[in-house]
Structure 1
Amino acid sequence: MARYTGPVCKLCRREGFKLYLKGERCFSPRCSQVKRPVAPGQHGASTRKLTQYGMQLRSKQVVKRIYGVLERQFRRYFEAALKKNEETGTALMKILESRLDNIVFRMGFASSRRQARQLVNHGHVLVNGRRVNKPSFNLRVGDIVEIKEKSRSVLPIKEAAEAAKERTAYPWVEVDYETFRGTYLRYPVTEEVEIPVDLQSIIELYSK
């Protein structure tokens, strides 16, 4: 299973804004985007105007990095979205948001999607009462996600859940932090997800 294993803070610096890939660290003064708000590399501080293609490419990279997917898998998601009977950008967003690792993060059982992916890989997560260890597992509306009973005392899970209690819950999921169980209520709309790029630019990039 392919995944990015390099330094994630460099990804935020490359895009020029926070992608919130390291959980609570991204909200602290230790965040690399706060300490060094320039692109990595020898010429990171230099600026240049992007072409239309360059802006489309950056939009695609941002979405891939937010959700933690690589090119081949992202391309498959795009091709699946094309076959849906709805606007392609909306369909793509729904596919990405329905990934199990993303829902575990949205429910507050992990402080980042990266941590959520690790929890799923290690078998800490149940879907409808059955263990699922595939982070890209696609959830359906009404599915119940919970942390395995023996795993509820794991410190990172407890800390993430405690922090999530203080935040406003995402309206498309319902969570009970006493039982470490949540329900995927509905697909979110694009405005609720607040993806920091125009999805239409990604569609135009792949349509060339």
Structure 2
Amino acid sequence: MNNNFCAKCRRAGTKLFLKGEKCFSTKCPMIKRPFPPGSTSTRQAKLSDFGIQLKEKQKARHTYGLSESQFKKYFQIASQSGESTTEKFMEILESRIDNVVFRAGLAPSRASARQMVSHRLIELNKKKINIASILVKKEDIIKIIKPPKNLKVSSGNLPSWLAFNKKNLEIKINSAPKITPEELGIDAQLIVEFYNR
């Protein structure tokens, strides 16, 4: 599984930070082999417009660890919302509870956060949950009720739309997620073009 995560990064041509701490270490395969699996060179054939759109869509999908059906469903909801498709799409992706746990610095990766949710270590508004795809909303409270033994709370920058109580291990949703595709290194317009083709 580890190699599979790393292969996704190599295929995308950039770090997707799927393995937490390993992605920041010298052991990251993207440092020694920054080219797609099965290739021995950083030189790649020029992609068509469709190929570029597909690559960007896959990069975003793998970043959030979603299946194609989940990813497409979120896009369809965003495109039918009457709001900016790219902004609403990013808001939905960021609103997933596994992503919120990751953003709060309580898990080194979204995959780890997803595991915490599936193992029922999380409460949402005082109710135990085990579904990582739940979308949170303003005023929701997320609490870690059974902290993993190896839990390390990151001291990184907390998004403005979240508030974190380190003592109680509680996360409060202050507002709808505010993040731009550029902050994630994702060109959301290419994803729009892919699904609208």
Assess same fold via TM > 0.5.
Answer: yes
Per-residue CA shift, 1:75-99, capped at 9, x if unaligned?
Answer: 1111111121210011111110000
- Look up the equivalent residue of 1:60 and give its one-letter code: K
Match of 1:110 among 98, 107, 111: 107
Structure 1 gaps, min length 5: none
Q: How does 1:33-52 map to 2 (within 5 A)?
A: 33-42=30-39, 45-52=42-49
1:143 paired with 2:140, answer yes
> In structure 2, how many angstroms separate the alpha carbons of the residues matched to 1:43 and 1:37?
9
Match of 1:195 among 173, 184, 187: 184
Q: Tell me, what secondary structure is at the counterpart of 1:169? A: coil
CA-based RMSD: 1.8
Q: How does 1:1-208 map to 2 (within 5 A)?
A: 7-42=4-39, 45-148=42-145, 151-152=146-147, 154-156=148-150, 158-159=151-152, 161=153, 164=154, 166-191=155-180, 194-208=183-197
Per-residue CA shift, 1:180-199, capped at 9, x if unaligned?
Answer: 10111112333387121211
Q: CA deviation at 1:35?
A: 2.2
> In structure 1, how many angstroms separate the alpha carbons of the residues matched to 2:183 and 2:69?
24
> In structure 2, how many angstroms separate the alpha carbons of the residues matched to 1:126 and 1:203?
34
Residue correspondences, number = 197
> In structure 1, how many angstroms separate the alpha carbons of the residues matched to 2:164 and 2:119?
22
Answer with 171-180 or 114-123: which moved more.
171-180
- Look up the equivalent residue of 1:179 and give its one-letter code: N
> In structure 2, how many angstroms separate the alpha carbons of the residues matched to 1:35 and 1:88?
37
- TM-score with structure 2 length normalisation? 0.94
> In structure 2, how many angstroms separate the alpha carbons of the residues matched to 1:99 and 1:44?
37
Q: CA deviation at 1:107?
A: 0.9
Structure 2 gaps, min length 5: none
